[in-house]
Amino acid sequence: MARRRRCRYSGIGGQAVLEGIMMKNKDRYAVAVRRQDGGIAVEIDHFRGILGGSILNRILFVRGIFNFIDSLVLGMKALNYSASFYEEEDSDSGKKPGRGAGDKILNALVTVFAVAMAVGIFVVLPYYLTSRLEGTLRNRSLMNIIEGGMRIVIFLLYVVGISIMKDIRRLYRYHGAEHKCINCIERGRPLTVKNVMRSSRLHKRCGTSFIFFVFIVSIILFFFIQVESPVYRVLLRILLLPVVAGISYEIIRLAGRSDNIFVKIISAPGMAVQRMTTKEPDRDMVEVAIAAVEAVFDWKGYLKENFGYEDETEKAERDSAEESGGQTERA
């Protein structure tokens, strides 16, 4: 029986977009989209983020705050690019999104609105619903635990609710293709459709797991930090979101670089939720994901360095050259 290969951190991450995948490696990212004519369009660009090469990018808990913001900005940019292929006007004119100043302003406004909606639904709403129990429950610590539990329930209902939409179900399948590609590489397998299809669709560095860690960390944090004023309680929950995000980032970063039993235990809830936010992709979706990876990541070099992998074509050429050399010597 073959021994299961140890997972090795690759440094690449991604996101599902409309009929496509975004993959990022260091400062480079690529968005691969399945066009309506069946081809695959690939956009490659650089994204340094807010911090760029700043020393702040190496400070624990601080870097996670800015990485979270960068993920939102880049994710929205990638989504807009993929959406352009399915908008009639852009399809006819051949325009690409996000090029003008007006597009950038609109993207910023949409991102701010999305964050505000998320704060309202997953922070303010759970607090408001839990506050209705104050007349019945006097234990503030228990109230905080119930609020955290309610936040998780609302998130799960949200995930299930949007999965009713056909486009979201396809997005979940592309999400699965993204994870399968990364798992395929990090398990030391060549990036082929066959190998990707048989890889797991769950990954410990997934954004779904990050959100779940945010909920757990917030429960623990607000268990110890309490104030009496209802207004201050809401403000405190909003103002401490960057702190929660920074702590959660370090946890998921640890999870992505380690495979020990402790990491598996703390990652288990997020991995379980991923079964809802990822679905099995088809071969066409996997081809798109592979195109995105190959645009920004030398997976052959990575496998050779970390797993001793040698490409079959290169191996055949080397063997042929050695054989030819041997024949020349004998002649």
pLDDT, tens digit (0-9, with 9 covering 90-100), for 123-143: 999 999 999 988 788 788 899
Strand partners, 32: 21, 42
How far apart are alpha carbons 187 and 306 in whole angstroms? Answer: 10
Cβ neighbours of residue 280 closer than 8 Å, sequence gap 6 or more? 173, 176, 201
pLDDT at 96 exceeding the cut of 60: no
pLDDT at 91 exceeding the cut of 70: no
Give residue 309's pLDDT: 85
CA of residue 64 relative to chain centroid, distance: 14
H helix runs in 18-100, sequence order: 62-84, 88-93
CB 195 within 8 A of CB 184: yes
pLDDT at 92 exceeding the cut of 60: no
255-264 mean pLDDT: 85
CB 221 within 8 A of CB 240: yes
pTM of the model: 0.88
CB 201 within 8 A of CB 210: no
Residue that has been written with the tokens 């997005």 in this structure: 171
Query: Residue 99: pLDDT band by 50, 70, 90 thresholds?
Result: low
pLDDT at 321 exceeding the cut of 80: no
Give residue 311's pLDDT: 72
How far apart are alpha carbons 211 and 205 in whole angstroms? Answer: 11
* 95 or 143, higher pLDDT: 143
Question: What is the phi/psi pair of residue 10, to 5°?
Answer: -105, -25
